[in-house]
Amino acid sequence: MHTKQWTIDDLEHHKEDIAEAAALLQAGELVVFPTETVYGLGADATNEQAVAKIFAAKGRPQDNPLIVHAASKEQLRSLAAYLPDYAEKLIDRFSPGPLTYVLPENGRCARNVTAGLQTVGIRIPDHPAAIALIKAAGLPLAAPSANISGKPSPTAASHAAEDLAGKIAGILDGGPTGVGVESTVIDCTGDLPVILRPGAVTEEMIAETIGQRLASTDALSETEKPKAPGMKYRHYAPEVPLWLVNGKPGQLQELISQQQKQGLRVAVMASSGTLTELHADGQFSLGGNLQETAAHLYDGLRRFEAGDADLIICEAFPETGLGVAIMNRLKKAASKYIEL
């Protein structure tokens, strides 16, 4: 299949491109579009055949539900059976934005969107091209991250093309995404929200908005704990094995040198400050703060291929604020977690 590509820099001058992409979605085809978090692989959320194409193109397990993207608060509400008061507060503060609400579904989306669950995950992306596309299509769009299942999520159109070109109808290129890690997913079916997947909207931000502390997920037993089904799968895996290492720069260097002595070519991913103290066979800077680290993380995970390095050593980050989401993804990408 030929995959059409459009570059959307200035929305005003690309209305025809958006209309063309929207028409493909209305015809039941798949189109990749930018959001503020990562690129999404979109399909008409009300069309079961179109949604089935998402699972086929990604090689996604059938029991992993999709997030539905709405263009407005009204459209978001129209897709749920019921919204608790705290969800309304969160929508007012964080939507559009990187927060996905898991709500009781009302049958408006195709069955395979929710993978048989009674709930549906919905969010309003904070990206002008995404909003324009959803509006032009006049449809809610089911859209997982636009990567092959198991690989890092795409933060550039080129990442999505690497994984999906030839298998889908089109790719809207809106440049690099801003946030870089996927949205926070919260279960809104209980008395208090429960974070199913950490993201840029942090636990502290949610608690402050609703005026209550969140139920601790750790306090719930494994069987009680409501989960995002997708979180159980291996994710974000780079081509080369990755060790996530919590230690001082000197300790990281010792580990790198040790592995090099074993004959391995070692690449390192770390913050810009740490990198200045390290010598390895390849390096990727994760920037100078947690925002920059999130934004560059998946590009880094895609950077080293089998020909370039035998091992990636990645610095661990503090698990506070955005660091919770960064470490959540890195732990899933890593084949080993070492605390020195």
Which chain residues interact with ligand TXA by CB under 6 A?
35, 37-38, 40, 64-67, 98, 100, 102, 114, 117, 119-121, 125, 143-145, 182-183, 185, 196-197, 228-231
CA 284, CA 25: separation in Å to the nearest integer?
37
Residue 38 interacting partner from ligand TXA, Mg ion, none (CB closer than 5 to 8 Å by kind): ligand TXA
Asked if 48 and 66 touch (Cβ cutoff 8 Å), the reply is no
Q: Which is nearer to ligand TXA, 228 or 278 (CB)?
A: 228
177 lines the binding site for Mg ion (CB under 5 A) = no
Task: Classify residue 92 as left (phi > 0), alpha (psi -120 to 50) or beta.
Answer: alpha
Our CB check for ligand TXA shows the closer of 79 and 266 to be 79
Q: Is 306 exposed, middle or buried (0-12, 13-18, 19+ CB in 10 A)?
A: exposed
- Of 130-138, 144-152, 156-164, 243-251: span binding Mg ion (CB under 5 A): 144-152
CA distances from residue 209 to 78, 92, 106, 235 in whole angstroms, order as listed: 23, 10, 26, 30
Please state, as a whole number, how many other Cβ atoms lie within 10 Å of the Cβ of residue 321: 16
285 binds Mg ion (CB under 5 A): no
The piece of 89-97, 140-148, 158-166, 198-206 that touches Mg ion (CB under 5 A) is: 140-148
Report in angstroms how near the CB of residue 108 gets to ligand TXA at its nearest: 14
The count of residues interacting with Mg ion (CB under 5 A) is 1
Amino acid at 94: F
Could you count the other beta carbons within 10 Å of the beta carbon of residue 122? 27
Binders in 196-255 for Mg ion, by CB under 5 A: none
CB within 8 A of 85, min separation 6: which ones?
Answer: none
Q: Given the complex with ligand TXA, which of 95 and 114 has the nearer CB atom? A: 114
- Chain-centroid distance of CA 266 in Å reads 27
Among 114, 145, 177, 285, binds Mg ion (CB under 5 A): 145
Calculate the alpha carbon distances from 98 to 60, 76, 221, 275, 337 in Å. Answer: 22, 14, 27, 30, 28
Residue 228 CB, shortest distance to ligand TXA, in Å, is: 4
Minimum distance of ligand TXA from residue 143's CB (angstroms): 5
The site partner of 120 among ligand TXA, Mg ion, none (C-beta below 5 to 8 Å per kind) is ligand TXA
Question: Cα Rg for the chain, rounded, in angstroms?
Answer: 20
Nearest to ligand TXA of 131, 280 (CB atom):
131
Least gap, CB of 65 to ligand TXA (angstroms) = 4
- Judge contact between 280 and 256, C-beta under 8 A: yes
CA distance 306 to 231: 26
Residue 64 contact among Mg ion, ligand TXA, none, beta carbon within 5 to 8 Å by kind: ligand TXA
Looking at beta carbons only, is 119 or 271 nearer to ligand TXA? 119
Which residues contribute to the site for Mg ion (CB under 5 A)? Answer: 145
